Structure 1
Amino acid sequence: MEFYDSDGISTEVDEETNIVSAKCLRCICVAESDCNINLKCDDSVCGPYKITLGFWIDAGRPTVKDNDYYVEDYEYRNCSNDMKCSARAIEAYMQRYAKDCNGDGEINCDDFIRIHHNGPLGCTKSLPENVKKAYEECMQQQG
């Protein structure tokens, strides 16, 4: 399965092996930045998923392509601004930290958005209202 951002860029997701679905990735992206692929880096986050350096490191430092010459800050920024690499980072992060954050007895996208936004130690906290609203509307629209 794949999803397309607002500019038509595709991100493929292997629904058989990945715990984060294409729908979930799409709605995390929408909730964080309205999936704005033109959003680059500021002081603490990069890309349309607003990935932090710590998140990227915890995800195993994925890169857009294999490089003989590795520069951490460059690779972090490059991956965070690439939809496919970001999706791999989010999948790896959720594989590592997945848990039931909202106490409903399931581990699903409702937990992943909280882990993504608040971190694994803060995932029981509520999301900021604007993030929560955008996420819920996206999930309803995606069916």
Structure 2
Amino acid sequence: MLFAAIFLCLLPLGMSAISSHCLDCICSLESGCRPLACKWDVNSPSCGYYQLKQVYWIDCGKPGGSLTACALDKSCATRCVKAYMSRYGTHCTRGHTPTCEDYARIHNGGPGGCHRSATLGYWSKIRARGCSKYS
């Protein structure tokens, strides 16, 4: 948790954090915003509200004591996603503030997800949930 708090405090001025609306769209797509049990998905388990994976949870600072405990607690899982986006959000920007599209594609494809065409389909699904690039 301290790790996440440090990242949020170090967010550069002028750079916005992921919005609640964008988080809601990701949560809706990933789980219907329900605390889903861990299930096998592309080489490792995905868990909870945001379908977090172990490496994602580690990168967000390992809040909540374990991946499962955090992923199944909406507050903890949301803090994890926010910390992850604070850490990697600028990997997509070239002179612009990260957008919901950037964040969604990072969530789906990892730190460089915004540069991979494989995450465009995920972004389309997020848009279908009511999020726009600037949500």
Pair 1:120 & 2:120 matched: no
Cα deviation, 1:75-130, whole Å, max 9, x if unaligned, reads: 2101011111010001111111112637683312110001111001232113263x
Kindly tell me the number of residue pairs found equivalent between the two proteins: 114
TM alignment of 1:58-97, pairs within 5 A: 58-63=59-64, 75-97=66-88
- Structure 1: how far apart are the matches of 2:82 and 2:91? 16
Deviation of 1:22 after TM superposition, in Å, equals 0.8
The equivalent residue for 2:98 is 107
State whether residues 41 and 47 of structure 1, in contact with CA within 8 Å, keep that contact through their aligned partners in structure 2: yes
**Unpaired stretches in structure 1, ≥5 consecutive residues:** 1-16, 64-69
* Letter matched to residue 136 of structure 1: R
- 1-side partners of 2:101 and 2:95: how far apart? 10
Alignment of 1:41 with 2:32, yes or no, is: no
Q: Which has the higher helix share?
A: 2
> Letter of the aligned partner of 2:24 in structure 1?
R
1:140–1:55 CA distance, 2 compared to 1 (3 A)? closer
Question: Identity of counterpart residues, as a percentage?
Answer: 35
Moved over 6 A (4+): none
TM-score (norm 1): 0.68
Q: Cα deviation per residue 1:50-75 (whole Å; 9 max; x = unaligned)?
A: 10100000100111xxxxxx5xxxx2
**Distance across 1 between alignment mates of 2:114 and 2:23:** 17
1:40 to partner: Cα distance: 1.1
